[in-house]
């Protein structure tokens, strides 16, 4: 199983790419800054793709310190 990490995967184009890759049986890891929004996107991607190999990480990658 291939793995894809998608920054900004909790909305918009990033989320759609996550769904598409999940449907292709990728292990998808989405990244977001907002924990609630990213957790909800994780559930939605699993549901839309039928793939349970979806994980998420929270962090602000715009700074060295992050969150």
Complete domains list, the chain, with CATH: 3-58 (3.40.50.720)
Closest to 21 in 3D by CA, of 36, 41, 3: 3
pLDDT digits (tens, 9 = 90+) for 5-18: 999 999 999 999 99
What is the 3 state secondary structure string of 2-20?
A: CEEEEECCCCHHHHHHHHH
Q: Using one digit for the tens of pLDDT, what is the confidence trace for 10-63?
A: 999 999 999 999 999 999 999 999 999 999 999 999 999 999 999 999 998 777
Average pLDDT over the chain, rounded to whole?
94
């Amino acid at each position: 199983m291939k793995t894809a990490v998608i920054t900004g995967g909790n909305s918009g184009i990033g989320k759609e790419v996550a769904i598409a890759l999940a449907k292709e049986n990728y292990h998808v890891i989405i990244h977001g800054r907002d924990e609630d929004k990213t957790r909800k996107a994780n559930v939605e991607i699993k549901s839309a793709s039928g793939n349970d190999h979806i994980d998420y990480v929270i962090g602000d990658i715009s700074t060295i310190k992050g969150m």
